[in-house]
Structure 1
Amino acid sequence: MDRIIKFVVALFVIIAAASVASLVFAAQGTTPAATPSVANDSIVYYFYGQGCPHCAAIEPFMENMTKKYPDVDIRMLEVWYNQTNQQTYTQVNAAAGISSPQGVPEVVIGKTVLIGQLEIPDKLEGYLRAIEKKK
């Protein structure tokens, strides 16, 4: 339970910091350099938490997808203990139009968001095939 509370507090701090940064960039008429790359629909972001049982349940599936689709840029990022990955999680979700992410496991491809141990295995491979065909 402490992990969840710490994660929620950290996520709140990150969102607040991102909001302040957005206001600063907007006032300056610029955008942060990371924003264009996170909205890329050819990058597959898989966000998970170390110790999350739902994430652990689909870990073999995700590892299989990275092997089956080696030409697709699948980025597997742990967000409960890695602050840099938490920032990426916030930025990628914001670029997808999600202001309050629902948690992990989560896959984001451009503006497409898949959440949970049922939806990700059910739908992800179709998106990976489509990305692979574009290459």
Structure 2
Amino acid sequence: MLLWACLVSPGRGQPPDASAVTLYFFWAQGCPHCEEEKVFLNALVSRDPRIRVVSLEVTASGDNRELFQKVCQTLKVPLPGVPLTVVGNLYVAGWRGDHTSGPLLLKAISQARSQGLPDVVGSLLPTAPPPAPGLAIPETLAVPWFGEIKLKNLSLISLTLILGALDGFNPCAMWALIFLIGLLLGLPQRWKMWLYGGVFIFASGLVYFLFLAAWLNVFLFLGLVFWVRLGIGVVALGAGVVNLREFILDAT
């Protein structure tokens, strides 16, 4: 996922207060980059109690989703997406690891303490929400057959391999593969076999790429999760009806 950092010149305001800094963390369920940043923020708060993190999940809360859109418009975020961390009028979009995105976030915190940046997100909130306890997540994840995995040290390539291996035992993917094999067995033309098989592999790879890059969260921000699921279900049901109809007609 692309990373963007915007450092805006602070306006004239109150004297800086170095005793506390508030971070607004926008995240979404199912976002692997968000989980990586959660581990970093959890460790950061443990080292420095003066840092206060406000966790704002955007998929389950319409208010948080609306606030996220307002913040992106106010800060002129070019590619809105999660995770998005806002400190004053500075933001870090995306998360490319502790050694890449981490220094950008620490620099924003240091600048907020030294210059007293205006609280952009706080000004858009009707009331300031309390820090969510969801940041205290475990640093390890138990995965079947792989044992304990440290989220902090998990790379994108490793995550892709793990999800791909686990998806091999996914009942939905297994039935799709069985259906594809049955379809290919009935094709006399070899070029059609290559075409259908290639389309299946390409579509699977594209979906994994979109998921891991967190671009599918665009639908979540717009509140279209239900309609996307409904559309996929209708298409799948229609395809099943068509194939059953052709099977019955061929049998008769």
Q: TM-score of the superposition, structure 2-length normalised? A: 0.32
Give the distance between the partners of 1:103 and 1:57, measured in 2 at CA: 15
SS at match of 2:95: helix
Higher alpha-carbon Rg: 2
- After superposition, give the CA deviation of every residue in 1:76-127 in whole Å (9 maximum; x if it has no partner): 21112211111111122222123x6421011123442211222532310122
Cα offset, 1:54, TM superposition: 1.2
1:105 aligns with 2:83: yes
Higher helix share: 1
Gaps of 5+ in 2: 1-20, 117-252
Number of the residue aligned with 2:27? 48
Q: Which residue identity is paired with 1:132?
A: R
1:132 aligns with 2:110: no
Number of the residue aligned with 1:60? 39
Structure number with greater CO (CA < 8 Å, separation at least 6) is: 1
Matched length: 93
Q: Which residue identity is paired with 2:103?
A: D
Query: Do the aligned partners of 1:44 and 1:75 also contact (CA within 8 Å) in 2?
Result: yes
Query: Do the aligned partners of 1:96 and 1:108 also contact (CA within 8 Å) in 2?
Result: no
1:82 aligns with 2:89: no
Query: Do the aligned partners of 2:25 and 2:84 also contact (CA within 8 Å) in 1?
Result: yes
| Structure 1 segment 9-24 matched on structure 2, within 5 A | none
Number of the residue aligned with 1:123? 104
Change (3 A) 1:132 1:71: farther
**Percent identity for Structure 1 against Structure 2:** 24
Cα offset, 1:133, TM superposition: 4.1
Cα offset, 1:57, TM superposition: 1.7
- After superposition, give the CA deviation of every residue in 1:13-71 in whole Å (9 maximum; x if it has no partner): xxxxxxxxxxxxxxxxxxxxxxxxxxxxx642211111111111221101122333433
Change (3 A) 1:73 1:58: closer
SS at match of 1:114: strand
Give the distance between the partners of 2:42 and 2:58, measured in 1 at CA: 17
Query: Do the aligned partners of 2:72 and 2:80 also contact (CA within 8 Å) in 1?
Result: no
Give the distance between the partners of 1:43 and 1:93, measured in 2 at CA: 18
Query: 4+ residue runs of structure 1 moved beyond 6 angstroms?
Result: none
Q: TM-score of the superposition, structure 1-length normalised? A: 0.56
Gaps of 5+ in 1: 1-41
